[in-house]
Structure 1
Amino acid sequence: SENIPTVAKDPRYARYLKMVQVGVPVMAIRNKMILEGLNPDLLDTPDAPVPDGQLETEESSDSESSFSD
């Protein structure tokens, strides 16, 4: 648990953080994130742990049993 994935390291969120850095309007980024089912509030907390605890690039076959549906 010492290697907790953060928002900034998650490829789903990293691209939006980069958009902020290059000057894309934050409201446009937030709207796009909502359309993609991501939490736009995480733009403000790039060092926070990823809510689902899984990086998109990680192999998650061993954790499928933890999903309820």
Structure 2
Amino acid sequence: MLPVGSLESPLRAIGELAVRGLLALDPYGGGGHARRNAEQAAAEVARERREREEVSAWLAERDPTGAPRS
């Protein structure tokens, strides 16, 4: 049987490599998925806001008097 001290260094190295590998896959430590979802939601909200502004501008160009539409 090998002494515990002789296994400590290789086990530590294996653990450090595993941590580095996992951080390379997901650098935010598990928060990457939530962060991507938040970024996608923010992009969607910004896109919808731009569309509404474009429609408002288009309607304003068609009715320069600003009369309410029915």
Which of the five TM-score ranges fits, normalised by the shorter chain?
under 0.3
TM-score normalised by L of structure 2: 0.22
Structure number with bigger Rg: 2
TM-score normalised by L of structure 1: 0.22
Query: Which one scores higher on RCO, CA 8 angstroms, separation ≥ 6?
Result: 1
